[in-house]
Amino acid sequence: MFKLSYTDTVTLKVLVFSAIAVFSIPYYFSAGGTLLGFILIRVIGSLMGGIAHIGSHRWLCHNSFKPSIFGKYLMLTGMVMNGHGSPLQIVIAHRLHHAHTDTKNDPHSPMYHSWFSLWLGRYTINSGIKIPKDFFKNKEAVFVSKHYWKLFYAFNIILALIDLKTALFFSPVNFAYSWIIITAVNYNTHKKNEVVEARNLNSVFNFISYGEGLHKNHHEDQTNYSFSGGTRFDLGAVIVEKLLMHNNQRTTAG
């Protein structure tokens, strides 16, 4: 029977979700959506996308802070909403990136991929790291990873039953937008055709990527939840401190 490879499935997802995203915006307005509704959905979508990325990167990949129960569920909810895929897959890919930065075993080095290839999700697949045992101790994240697509479609079906135009718009646009941000982070924060060197990007990109553009600072201090490097503004670190972090850690950090 015809079966798509994992990489082809990701590419298909990117193309289908992005196409729905493009058509859903005029549909939203033609079906009676208001400008205020549009802005509200995008603000919530963008905030939840940023929180999802803080969750998959700073929390699950690097264990750089201890979340409160509220913070943990908020991050997992964001991950389910954005359609980026199982947190376990993201952890494995990102740890491979840190273990093999800008070598052939790096899943998304710009030395070996074009911007377009990364956007299509055509990452290099390899098995160069150990099973992330720490991840499997995190029961909620394991549950979300195991049932990721069921949870994603359940959320979307419930939203569609409440309001179809919002459902068609919310997750696909959320995905399409944050996927472009992630592609830019993966491609533009590493120098192409040079020795291994991560870079920090400009302040505007750092703001819209919730601090992910401060990638050089992150490579140099991977256990730190803040990517500020002591001098730059990191919106992600502010959200961790104000919204997601466990009280005990907040006391010691403050």
Residue ranges in contact with Zn ion by CB under 5 A: 198
If we measure between CA atoms, which residue out of 196, 33, 30 comes closest to residue 101? 196
CB of 108 to Zn ion, least distance (A): 9
Contact 52, 82 (CB under 8 A): yes
Helix (H) or strand (E) holding 130: none
What is the Cα–Cα distance from 119 to 108, expressed in whole angstroms?
Answer: 10
**Whose Cβ is closer to Zn ion: residue 17's or residue 227's?**
227
CB of 91 to Zn ion, least distance (A): 10
**Whose Cβ is closer to Zn ion: residue 33's or residue 67's?**
67
CB of 151 to Zn ion, least distance (A): 24
**Whose Cβ is closer to Zn ion: residue 53's or residue 165's?**
53
DSSP state of 129: S
For residue 240, CA distances in Å to 59, 66, 246 come to 10, 10, 9
CB of 202 to Zn ion, least distance (A): 17
**Whose Cβ is closer to Zn ion: residue 140's or residue 197's?**
197
For Zn ion, the nearest residue by Cβ is: 198
**Phi (first) and psi of residue 248, to 5 degrees:** -60, -45
CB of 224 to Zn ion, least distance (A): 11
**Whose Cβ is closer to Zn ion: residue 198's or residue 243's?**
198
Q: Give CA torsion, residues 247, 74, 57, 186, to 10 deg.
A: -140
DSSP state of 244: I
